[in-house]
Structures are given as structure tokens and as C-alpha cells.
Amino acid sequence: MLQKEGQVRIPAGCAISGIFHKDGTRENGTRIIDSIRTMHDRSNGLGGGFAGYGIYPEYADYYAFHVFYDTQAAKEECEREIERHFDIVNLSKIPTRRHPRITDAPMIWRYFVRPLHTKLESSQLDEREFTSRCVIRINAEGQVSYKAMLCINHTLNGAYIFSSGKNMGVFKANGFPEDVGEYYMLENYEAYSWTCHGRYPTNTPGWWGGAHPFALLDTTVVHNGEISSYDANRRFIEMFGYSCDLLTDTEVITYLFDLLVRRHGFSQEMAAHIMTASAWDEIDAMEPERAAFETALRCVYSSALINGPMSVILGSDEGLLALNDRLKLRALMAGEKGRMVYLASEQAAIEIVCPEVENVRSIDGGVPFVVQLDEVAARKKLESAENRPAKDKLHAQITGVMPSEHKKKEA
């Protein structure tokens, strides 16, 4: 019998990659598959996955639920639960092709939905909070979560919503990532932003739901590493009603970003800064006003601090954010060419898809590396700088990629 998350330890590592068009131009999934294929030896076939943004322009105003089902009974029960809270405007199987190395596939369905007006009004929640609560319950497989609106992922055994954002989708499976991309026929999808992950699990067995990216609404995370602060982070996030039932550090990182950005109102940059906050000796050397601010962050969000080796790519409808642990214990490279930005665990994975790439460098430890859509960057420039960490370092990054030597001069 296949063991699930938390029942076995398999020491290992992972590969991550990303391709982003700042001007919103879309491309199919061919190059992102080629990029992750270059890092084949970083994976062991126990999980691979992709996230694409901008892939459903005809349903851009609807939440796209991608769902795994173990049984027909689970599908019927899940659909009844979805219909209790959402208007389903379209549903279908997610197209796949037979692949010799992708086996034991669950039923994989896609639903385009919007919250029922009466349910949304009676919940007294905003649309995104309503939807996120209605997604979380299905993942917990029969436990009880907070409040009645934490609907599906926490209570329905055999059903798992693994993607739930607007105009985006996650595609993942148990297998090598390049095989997963071929299985889902990603050459038929076009996105302005792609991220991907090749899994080599550190603590858990390979199964379809445990593959990366992890997603909640339009936030997706691919992660290489193993955070030693998992238990502290998990206990902290569960105080706010999240249910960390997959027992993986990547799930915790995803929920931390969702909590800090969507619910607490921080920018993505500030959320990343909280997770990799300044060390106490660094704070002691700061100007008093800045030191007081950093001290407050560390005290209020002490359990959101992430320790241990990690490299992360956060995807959202704004763009990509790359983050390394403060000690830079995992590799993560960036490069650019024209209006495009590339991220990967290895430089070769960038050069294979863009041989003429420029300004290739390593992401600095503990400093969020931000690239955004041009329209988002223009809007952010007009906003207050109060929600930016280390404003002297990050202001120039708000509009896109900043050369590493520039950052060093400002440090």
C-alpha cells in the first residue's frame, strides 16, 4: 500500500525553474519543459508539476478548480459540495495523453466556478476568502477545520482540489517533471508566466497531491530545500485556521504567503522579508527607527521566520518572487533577455532555453528577487513605500530585475 505524506523519510533534493514575460506575452509550455528536463538528475520520479498564468483568458473571471478524485463516489460527493457554494459554468476532464512513465492516475477534472451570490452574502466574507475556505477542507481527509465555510479540502476523503485561482492552473503528477508536462500536453496551453518543479522528496513519499506546485487561489509555490522550522511555522499558520494536512514544508510556505499577503495586507516583498527576517546582531547595528521596525516584525511574526536550506519561487497574478534562505544554502539563478526573466536551480536550465541570456547571476540570500508584469510594476510605483522591506534595497527591484552589483552598492 502506498504510504502518504509523513509516513516515510526519503533524503533528497529538488529542481525549480521559471519563465516570465514582463509585457504579458504568452508562450506555450514547451520551453519550461525543456528547462526542467535539463535538471533531470535532481529529481527521482516521485513528483513533478507546473503552474501557468494567463492560460484561461476565456474564463478569466472564474475560479478554475483542478481536482483529483480517487473514486467515482468521491467525485459525486465533491461536486455536490461545490454546487452548494458555487455556480459551475463549465466542467470537463483535464486533457491528458497516455504516457508510459505516468501511471496510477486518479480522475482529473476541471471546473470553472463563481461563488453563489446568496452564499457569499450570508458568509459576510469577501470572494477570495470565501473561495479559499471552501477549498481548504478537502485536503484534510475527514478532519474538522475552522468554521463551516472551510468546505471541501478538509472533509471529503478521496477528493483534492490542487488548483483554485483565476486564469491560471497547476498541473502535477507522480513522475519526472518532463514526463508530467508531456502527460498534460502543456504545448496546448499558453501562459505569460510558467513555474515548474522536479521533486526528490525529503520526508515524504511521492504521490499526486504531494507534488509541487502547491497552490491556494492564485498563489503557487515551488520549493527546493527542507525547512527546519516546519513545526513552529505549522503551529503558527494553523492558529489562523489553515489545515496543514499534507505535512510538507512547501504547503506551510504557501499558506504563510497567503496569510501575510492576502489576509494581513503585506506586500509580497514584505512577506518574504518576514520569513527571512534580519538577524538580531544585524538589527542591533541598525539606526534606531529601523531597528524598532525590524524588532517589531520579529516579535509579532517570530513563528513565521523560516529556517533551513531553501530556494523558493512564488507565482501570482502579479509576477514571480524568488527567495533564498539567509545563508544561501540552496542554488537559485536568475537571468534576463529583453522583456523576459528566467529563474532556475542551475544556470544550464536557463541557457538551454535562452542561449543568449544576459545578466545571469545568483539570487542573494534572504533578499526577495521580484519581477512583475509591466502594468503591475507601474501601479506599484505609485503606491506608498511603507509596505516595502529594506526600502533602500528593494525600491529598484519593484520594476523588475536589478543587477546584483547594483544591490551590493546599495547594501
> DSSP string covering 351-365, please?
HTT-TT-EEEEEPPB
Residue 342 to residue 143: CA distance in whole angstroms: 40
pLDDT, tens only, 53-105: 999 999 999 999 999 999 999 899 889 989 999 999 999 999 999 999 999 89
Q: Which three cell numbers stand for residue 347?
A: 544556470
Instruction: Please give the residue that has the higher pLDDT: either 328 or 64.
Output: 64
| Cβ atoms within 10 Å of 105's Cβ, excluding its own | 15
Is the Cα torsion angle 144, 258, 93, 187 positive or negative in sign?
Answer: negative
Q: Which three cell numbers stand for residue 225?
A: 530545500
Residue 18 to residue 403: CA distance in whole angstroms: 18
Mean pLDDT of the chain: 85
Instruction: Determine the pLDDT at residue 243.
Output: 83
- Helix or strand run (H / E) with residue 334: strand 333-337
Instruction: Determine the pLDDT at residue 98.
Output: 94
Active site residues: 14
Whether the per-residue pLDDT at 143 is higher than 50: the answer is: no
The residue written with cell numbers 538589527 in the block is 283
Strands of 116-189, DSSP E: 159-163, 168-173
Instruction: Please give the residue that has the higher pLDDT: either 246 or 183.
Output: 183
Whether the per-residue pLDDT at 312 is higher than 90: the answer is: yes
pLDDT class of 288 with cuts at 50, 70, 90? very high
The mean pLDDT of 293-298, rounded to a whole number, is: 94
Instruction: Determine the pLDDT at residue 20.
Output: 98
Instruction: Determine the pLDDT at residue 397.
Output: 36
As a whole number of Å, the end-to-end CA separation of the chain is 53
Strands of 193-331, DSSP E: 193-198, 214-216, 219-225, 310-315, 319-324
Residue 350 to residue 275: CA distance in whole angstroms: 27
Q: Are 159 and 78 in contact (CB under 8 A)?
A: yes
Radius of gyration over alpha carbons of the chain, in Å?
20
Within 8 A by CB and 6+ apart from 83, the residues are none
Q: Which amino acid is at 206?
A: G
What SS3 class is residue 249?
helix
Beta-bridged to residue 333, according to DSSP, are 344, 362
Instruction: Determine the pLDDT at residue 96.
Output: 97
Residue 140 to residue 135: CA distance in whole angstroms: 10
**In this prediction, what percent of the chain has a pLDDT beyond 70?**
83
Instruction: Determine the pLDDT at residue 158.
Output: 83
What SS3 class is residue 53?
strand
Q: Which amino acid is at 138?
A: I
Return the minimum-mean-pLDDT range out of 119-133, 138-152, 165-179, 381-395. Answer: 138-152
Return the minimum-mean-pLDDT range out of 76-80, 110-114, 229-233, 248-252. Answer: 248-252
What SS3 class is residue 402?
coil
Residue 398 to residue 411: CA distance in whole angstroms: 16
Q: Which three cell numbers stand for residue 258?
A: 497567503
pLDDT, tens only, 350-402: 999 999 999 999 999 999 999 999 999 998 888 755 555 544 443 333 333 33
pLDDT class of 245 with cuts at 50, 70, 90? confident
Instruction: Determine the pLDDT at residue 114.
Output: 96
Question: For residue 34, what are the CA distances in angstroms to 29, 116, 206, 302, 342?
Answer: 9, 41, 22, 40, 13
pLDDT, tens only, 248-285: 888 899 999 999 999 999 999 999 999 999 999 999 99
Q: What is the dihedral of CA 10, 210, 53, 152, to 10 degrees?
A: -160
Residue 243 to residue 6: CA distance in whole angstroms: 15
pTM above 0.85, yes or no: yes
Query: Would you call 33 exposed, middle or buried from its count of C-beta atoms within 10 A (0-12, 13-18, 19+)?
Result: buried
The mean pLDDT of 36-41, rounded to a whole number, is: 92
Categorise residue 319: left if φ over 0, alpha if ψ from -120 to 50, beta otherwise. Answer: left
Interior CA angle at 19 toward 38 and 340, to 5°?
125
Instruction: Determine the pLDDT at residue 7.
Output: 55
| Cβ atoms within 10 Å of 51's Cβ, excluding its own | 32
